[in-house]
Amino acid sequence: MKTCGIIAEYNPFHAGHIHQLKQIRNQFDAIVVITSGYFSQRGLPSLLSPYDKTRLALEYGADLVCLLPVQYTCQSAEYFVKYAMESLHYLGIDALCFGSECHSIKQLDNWYQNLKAQPIDPSHSQQRSTPVQIQPNDLLAMYYVANCKNYNIEPFCIPRDSSFASATSLRQSFFDGNKEPFSQYFHIEQYWQNYYPYLKTTLLLTSLADLETFFEARLKKAAQADTWESFLEQAISKNYSKARIQRTCLMILLQIKKAEMQNLTFQQTQVLGFNEIGQQLLKANKGKKI
């Protein structure tokens, strides 16, 4: 079977994802999705549980859905892609499909080569370190293309269609009180303000020395704020993007320390769901890290 992989967040699942699955089904025999769980790559709580993501993905065309655990998910674009691609590689995919604003494999590869050639300041966010202004989806796509080369996987790019509402706009619309497609599956409590009291307590009661074993002791001062938005306003700086702060806070809440992340290696693929074709794929890969 000719198999195509998708790296997805589904936060939330929407019409653009259905369009992608349909496009792939016309050209491939099997579709494997690897998705994030309760938190996204940018450190946001996910409106959909991994099980509802699986249900919807299988309903609209996927054959096998696997989970990318949170310690792999909540990484900068480079490492998020690295771990997701390792997982898909073990499942023997032939191609990787992704959306892109620029819709050019050559341009994405050029951006990656330019980034590699430029000295990176580790104190800067990844977005600010790129040599040109790149859209967030193209930042991920740039690393998809680079990793496809490493694994001899064909990169398959679909242009992003502006007629489909973005995940960001759908989340905002839902929290503004509007009914959205698939909102019957949404978990309304999944936003940062609900987690902030626990984060604030942890930051205020943890010593600076112990916070250093996580990622960022400077957040202790910002934790004087009463709301998540006020906390973010104080924590974000030119060197620390919103996404980086969110990921850091998540690691503190989950008690995942800096040393654990530095020694992080891919362990195994975690299966969430499959149909008959997906079952065949699993049998074909029996004995691997699944």
Angle formed at CA 197 by CA 192 and CA 198, multiple of 5 degrees? 90
CA distances from 66 to 17, 45, 108, 143 (A): 16, 19, 26, 20
Residue at token pair 């491939």: 28
pTM: 0.91
Distance from C-alpha of 85 to C-alpha of 150, rounded to nearest angstrom: 10
167-176, 210-219, 276-285: range with lowest mean pLDDT? 210-219
Average pLDDT over residues 37-44: 96
Predicted local distance difference test score (pLDDT) of residue 161: 84
Average pLDDT over residues 4-24: 96
Q: Is 97 helix (H, G, I), strand (E, B) or coil?
A: strand
Report the percentage of the chain scoring pLDDT > 90: 71
CA distances from 234 to 158, 176, 241 (A): 38, 25, 12
Strands (E), the chain: 3-8, 30-36, 64-68, 95-100, 154-159, 270-274
Tell whether omega for the bond before 159 is within 30 degrees of 0, i.e. cis.
Answer: no
Tens digit of pLDDT for each residue in 135-167? 878 999 999 999 999 999 999 999 888 889 999
* DSSP code, position 33: E
pLDDT of 124 above 60 = no
Task: Check if the beta carbon of residue 83 is closer than 8 Å to that of residue 282.
Answer: no
Predicted local distance difference test score (pLDDT) of residue 284: 87
199-208, 237-246, 262-271: range with lowest mean pLDDT? 262-271
Give the confidence band of 4 by pLDDT, cuts at 50, 70, 90: very high
Q: Which of 256, 253, 287 is nearest to 269 (CA)?
A: 287
